[in-house]
Structure 1
C-alpha cells in the first residue's frame, strides 16, 4: 500500500504534523508498524553509523509505502534531525515516532523489562527468559499441543519483541519500549494497560499513595 501525503493533510507546523501523520500510518499497520519503520532505518544505515541522510530517508519511506513532495520531505527531515547535524540519529528517530506514553505506562514497561533482565546487563536474551518466563511458555497452546518445545515457545516470544525481519536473539530496553509503545496505542486506559502488563509479567501490584 502506498500513502501519498499532500497539502490537504498538513498546513502549519509542517514537520511535527508530518511526524504525526507518519506515526499514525505506522500504527494503522498494527503493533509492529513502528518497529517495521525502525527496521527500514537499519537497512538504510549501510555504514552502521546509526544515522541516515535526506536521500536515504526518501528511499526508505518509498520502500515502506510513503510518498511526499520534496518540500515536505525536507520539512520532515528537519523535524527529525534535532541537532541539525545533517543526519538523523536512530534513537532520536524512534523516540520521535514512538507514540507518546504517560509516565505510568513507561514505568510499568521498564519494570517488566527489569524483571526479565535477570543478569542486569541491559539485554534480554534466551538465558534470561528461561529463568523467569518458562512457566508462561508452558501454558502456550502450541506447547500444550506438542507442536512447539519449550525452547521454540521462548524463542517465539523473544523474536516477537526483537527487531522484526532480523532478530538477533537480544532485546534491548529501547526495542522493548518500541514494541510496547505500539501495544499501548491500542489501549485507552492507563490503569488497564498497567494491569495487563503486571498480569503478563507477574509483576507485583502497583504501589499507590494515599492523599
Structure 2
C-alpha cells in the first residue's frame, strides 16, 4: 500500500500466510503521545462503533488515510487507505515528506491522530452488517484500455500523432528498430503524461506482449491503444493511397504526396492554427524513419497517420470531410 501523494510503496500485500499478510489491531492510546495501546487478544469483544488502530505486523506501519484524498460515494465519504509507520531507525518520524514542518512532539503524537483510527461496526443481525454500496465493477482489460485511450484523447485531436512522434524520438535516440522494452515503454507513457497505475500499464502492454518476451512492437502497440479503424474509414484512406499509387507498387513517391496534399481542412489548421505549409510538414514528418525523410511512402505509414487521427475523432462525417479537403478529387464515386 502506498500514499497517493508520494506514490511510495510502503507495505507489500501478500496472499501467503506470513508476516507480510498479517495485520494487528490495537486500541488507540487516546492522544497520549508516549502511551502505547494494547494489542487485542483473539476473541476479545469490541465495543460497538469503537475505534481501532491497525498495524502491519512485519513493518509496524499503521493503516491510515489522507483527509485530502477523499471521494464522495452513496455510502458516504471514502478515503484512500495507505500504510504509515511511527518508527524509523533510531527515532520516531513517520514519513518525513508527508509531515514537513512538524515539531518532534507533534510528530510523536501522529499515530494517535483520527486518520489512523478505523471503526468496526458490529451487529447481531447478519443482514444488517452487509455492505450494500454500489461500487464500480471490477476493472477488466477492456475498461482499462478504454481508460487509457480516454487519457490520450483528452490531450486533443493531435494526441495520437504526438504520442507516435514521441516514440519516434525515443527510437531515434536509442537506435532501436521499432521495438522497445516493456519497462521502457511504460516509462515513456508516464513521461508523455499518461498518469495511471503501473498495473494498468502492465495490462495494456500485455495485450501486445502475449509471448512475454519483453520487447514490444511500437506500431502494434499504438494500433491496440488507438483501437480499430472502421471499415468505411479504412476504405477512404485506401482510396486516397491507391489514387496516389499510380504504378500500383504499394509505395508512393514523396513528391506525389507533396504535390497533391491540401492543408486547408486539416485539423491542425482549422483547430490548431497552423498554416497549410505546416500541416504538410506535419504529414511528411510522420513518414520519417529514424529521423530521415524517405523518398517513398508505404501504405502502412500513410494509414497510420490517418488511423491516429481517426482515433481522436468520433464523427464519421467530420473525418470524411477532413480527408476530402486534404485530397481533392481523389475519391471514387
Name the TM-score class by shorter chain.
0.5 to 0.7
> Quick one: which of 4, 7, 11 aligns to 2:138?
11
Aligned match of 2:11: none
- TM-fit CA distance, 1:167: 6.3
Structure showing greater radius of gyration is: 2
For residue 67 of structure 1, give the secondary structure of its aligned residue in structure 2.
coil
Once residues 233 and 203 of structure 2 are traced to their aligned partners in structure 1, the CA distance between those partners, rounded to angstroms, is 31
TM-score by length of 2: 0.45
* Residue 188 (structure 1) aligned to one of 286, 310, 315: 315
CA distance in 2, matches of 1:127, 1:159: 15
> Which residue of structure 2 aligns with residue 59 of structure 1?
187
| Residues matched between the structures, number | 185
Say which of 160, 163, 170 aligns to 2:283: 160
Report how far residue 76 of structure 1 moved.
2.3
The separation in 2 between residues aligned to 1:172 and 1:108, in whole angstroms, is 16
What does residue range 172-183 of structure 1 map to in structure 2 within 5 Å? Answer: 172-183=298-309
Structure 2 residues not aligned, in runs of 5+: 1-6, 8-79, 81-134, 265-274
**Superposition deviation, residue 64 in structure 1:** 0.6
Distance 1:137 1:43 in 2: 25
Match 1:44 to one of 148, 170, 176: 170
Residue of structure 2 equivalent to 1:80:
208
Q: Is the 8 A contact 1:37 1:64 kept in 2?
A: yes
Compared CA separation, residues 69 and 22, structure 1 to 2 (3 A)? closer
Q: What is the match of residue 330 of structure 2? A: 203
Task: Choose between structure 1 and 2: higher strand proportion.
Answer: 2
Secondary structure at 1:37 match in 2: helix
Match for residue 209 of structure 1?
none
Higher relative contact order (CA 8 A, sep 6+): 1
Distance 1:40 1:196 in 2: 24
Judged with a 3 Å threshold, the aligned counterparts in structure 2 of structure 1 residues 43 and 153 are, in CA distance, closer, same or farther, namely closer
Residues 197, 21 of structure 1: CA spacing in aligned structure 2 closer, same or farther, 3 A cutoff? Answer: same
Measure how far apart 1:131 and its partner are. Answer: 4.5
Greater fraction helix: 1
- Do the aligned residues in 2 keep the contact of 1:34 with 1:178 (CA within 8 Å)? no
Q: Does the CA contact (< 8 Å) of 2:163 and 2:192 recur in 1?
A: yes
* Whole-Å separation in 2 of the counterparts to 1:49 and 1:9: 41
User: Matched residues in 2 for 1:115 and 1:9: separation?
Assistant: 49
